Every structure is written in C-alpha cells, then in structure tokens.
Amino acid sequence: MKLHEYQAKGLFAEAGIPTPTFKLASTVDEVVAAAEEIGYPVAIKAQVQVGGRGKAGGIKLVDDEAEAREAAESILGMDLKGYAVDRVIVEGAVDFVDELYVGITMDREAGRPVIMASTEGGVDIEAVAERDPDAITRVHVDPAFGLHPYQARRAAYGAGMDADIAGDAAKVIQTLWTLYSNRDASEIEINPLMVTSDREVIAADAVMNIDEDALFRQAELAEMEDEATGDTLERQASGVGLDYVRLSGNVGIIGNGAGLVMTTLDLVDHYGGSPANFLDIGGGARAETVKNALELVFADENADAVVFNIFGGITRGDEVAQGINEAIAAFDELPKPVVVRIAGTKAEEGRELLNAERLIVADTLEDAVQKAVNAAQEVAA
C-alpha cells in the first residue's frame, strides 16, 4: 500500500523529521485559506501517487493570493498521468541551496534492507542509479541488529554530504529506519531532502509504502488505506478481499491462484491481446466471490472480454462451474463475452455443467485465451 505524500509526511513529522508546515485542501478557497495561514510563498502540490509531479504541472510555487487561486484552479481537477487530482497540499516554500536523497528499500539480492543516500536529490533516483551508480551510497542493515548510528553516518558522509549537514541527515536516516521497521514499511524515501540557506535539512517530499500483509497489526495505517488507494476499482476489490491489480489492456482475467493468473496474463499478451487486470480469486469458488470478481472486470471500461482460468484442485471443477453459473445468474445480461476454461479435478463434469448459452466454454487454456482475445477485438471493432 502506497501512502499519499500528506500521509507519509504526517508520519515523518510526527516521528521528528523536519518538514515544511503543510495543510490538505480540496477547493480553491481552502487552498487560499491554507496559504494565508502558512504565509506566502507556498508550494501547491497535487496528491496523486505518481512521481515527477513537478514536471507534469502538478506542483506550483506561488507568492500571493492571485497566483494561489490560479495555481489551485489549474491543479485541482487536472488529469495527472491518468489520475484525477482532487486534493493538494499547501506547504511553506523552502529556501533551499541543495537537494539530497535518502531512502530505505529491500535489497532482494542481498536479502536485507538497504539505506541509500545521495547528494543528487530532486531528480528521479532511478535515472541517477542508471547514469552514475556511484552517486548513490548504499549501506545494508542486518534486521536482527537494526541500524547502528555509525551506519547512518557512514551513509551520509559516504554520499559526500557537507560535514555540517551529514550529522543532521544521519539523524533523519535513523528516524526513517525506526519508521521503516516499526511501521512495516517496504519502501521509504525523501527526495528531495532539502538543505536550507540556514544550513538545515528538511523533507520536501515523502514516499512510504507499507507491506499490506502487515496491516492487521498496523491499525493506524489500515485506517489510511481507503484514502491511500487511488484506483476506485482497486479500492472496491480490497473492500471485498480480492487480489486485484488494474492494468490497462482489453482482456479481463480471472483465475484461482497467482501463478495461474500470471500465466494467463502472459498468454493474453502472446496471442495479441493485452491484460486489463490481474485478479486472483484464490481457492474455493463461492458464487459470491465469482460475482464480485465479475463485477470488477465488468466495471473496467477498458476490458472488452473476460477469460476465466480455473484449475480444479481441492476445489473441484464442478463446484467452480456451479459457482460461475450462480454468479452469472445475478446479471440480467452479461455486458461482455465471458470465456471459461476449467482444468484439473472434475474438469470435464465442470465444463458440462457450465451454462453454455451465456458463456463461451473452452477446452484448453490456449483456446480460451485466443477466444477471449478475438472476442475483445470483435467488441472493439
């Protein structure tokens, strides 16, 4: 789960990391009121979960009320890389002389978290990593011992930060580590960590991703989930407990098991279609679950056809077929062609049970995927 900047920044500030004063606003008048309270100049920043908002026109610095109005009018309601902006934060502009980078992520190869620090903040860090890998200092952390203070200093000094700044940056890194481990974060980042003209560090931006499987013990963060999930369909899916990731293609995909769904994604691509989503309904196939899954895919206007890829294991094929039949009975009309492939235990019985008047029944996976890709192309034509 990716938090919004204002959520992450709130957590950073609460933990003691210096941040600009900021307020959330969703109307032009709220922006102006917030700016007045904070004092000009302020930065107005779109709250959508994409990077590079600045370049895309989602961040504006303003000096007075007229400029604040104009900026708020242009940012609120704008489409930023596919996301509608409905909220902004208004924050005190920073008088900065330098932009640093600090972050923590999981280094899967090393099998442990890694602290990253660089003096090349303010730009896309992936681009820095590609162009000049040595510009980023990395320090691995043994989770059994946590981050030792000397390691935080090593990261800051190793990155080449000025001596009067490195100590403060190391403190910020130490606090980030506390947040990372206490809050079950999977990624945490400040880019830029600005150096002010008074030689202080301040977090101008905030990124924090939380391990969703830890939300059961992170009550405060779980409460943020609704607002954090940007995509309405993904929010709807998580509300009914489905593993759903929205993609942008034309073929909706539903399967029982992550590997099975991934395979189907690849095959859709192989046969010239493009996956509209990842949707794993897990083991079992209660009609209710199947209906919820279908509702999601039907609601995605990019998806022109749906393919079910079901493997009967412990849940038998005939039970799944029953579940699918019951689920489609809940729809007066299927708004999109639905192709079903069942394999495994009692697959044949399942296929025979399926309502062939409303569904397209396929014998093999390849057949099912091709039928779905073709059906989607016909719908679009």
Pairwise CA distance, residues 259 & 241, whole Å = 18
Q: How near is the Cβ of 44 to ligand GDP at its closest, in Å? A: 10
- Angle subtended by helix axes 65-75 and 28-38, to nearest 10: 140
Is residue 249 a contact point for ligand GDP (CB under 6 A)? no
Q: How near is the Cβ of 102 to Mn ion at its closest, in Å? A: 12
Of these, 102, 128, 204, 254, which contacts ligand GDP (CB under 6 A)?
A: 204
Q: Which parts of 90-119 interact with ligand GDP (CB under 6 A)?
A: 93-94, 99
Q: How near is the Cβ of 154 to Mn ion at its closest, in Å? A: 24
Q: Look at the chain and count its residues.
A: 381
Taking the least distance from each CB to ligand GDP, the nearer of 99 and 304 is 99
Q: How near is the Cβ of 159 to Mn ion at its closest, in Å? A: 17
Pairwise CA distance, residues 380 & 250, whole Å = 9
The interface region with Mn ion, picked from 42-50, 186-194, 242-250, 252-260 by CB under 5 A, is 186-194
- For Mn ion, the nearest residue by Cβ is 205
Residue 6 tokens read as 């204002």
Neighbours of 330 (CB within 10 A): 12
Neighbours of 308 (CB within 10 A): 31
Q: Which parts of 275-294 interact with Mn ion (CB under 5 A)?
A: none
The one catalytic residue among 5, 6, 99, 101? 101
- The answer to whether 334 touches 325, Cβ cutoff 8 Å, is no
Query: Would you call 83 a catalytic residue per the annotation?
Result: no
End-to-end Cα, the chain, rounded Å: 37
Residue 122 tokens read as 């303010």
Query: Would you call 101 a catalytic residue per the annotation?
Result: yes
Counting residues that bind ligand GDP (by CB under 6 A) gives 16
Q: How near is the Cβ of 191 to Mn ion at its closest, in Å? A: 4
Give the single-character DSSP code of 2: B
Is residue 122 a contact point for ligand GDP (CB under 6 A)? yes
Of these, 99, 205, 280, 304, which contacts Mn ion (CB under 5 A)?
A: 205
Pairwise CA distance, residues 7 & 89, whole Å = 11
Residue 357 tokens read as 């008047």
Is residue 247 a contact point for ligand GDP (CB under 6 A)? no
What φ, ψ does residue 59 adopt, rounded to 5°?
-135, 125
The one catalytic residue among 5, 120, 189, 319? 189
Q: How near is the Cβ of 181 to ligand GDP at its closest, in Å? A: 24
Taking the least distance from each CB to Mn ion, the nearer of 205 and 319 is 205
Of these, 118, 119, 151, 191, which contacts Mn ion (CB under 5 A)?
A: 191
Q: Which parts of 38-67 interact with ligand GDP (CB under 6 A)?
A: 43, 45, 51-54, 59, 61
- The answer to whether 201 touches 166, Cβ cutoff 8 Å, is no
Beta-bridged to residue 102, according to DSSP, are 117, 190
Of these, 98, 168, 189, 205, which contacts ligand GDP (CB under 6 A)?
A: 205
Pairwise CA distance, residues 272 & 323, whole Å = 30
| ω into 143 cis (within 30 of 0) | no
The interface region with Mn ion, picked from 133-141, 187-195, 353-361, 367-375 by CB under 5 A, is 187-195
Helix (H) or strand (E) run with residue 281 in it:
none
Neighbours of 100 (CB within 10 A): 27
Residues in contact with ligand GDP by CB under 6 A are 43, 45, 51-54, 59, 61, 93-94, 99, 122, 191-192, 204-205
Residues in contact with Mn ion by CB under 5 A are 191, 205
Catalytic machinery residues: 101, 189
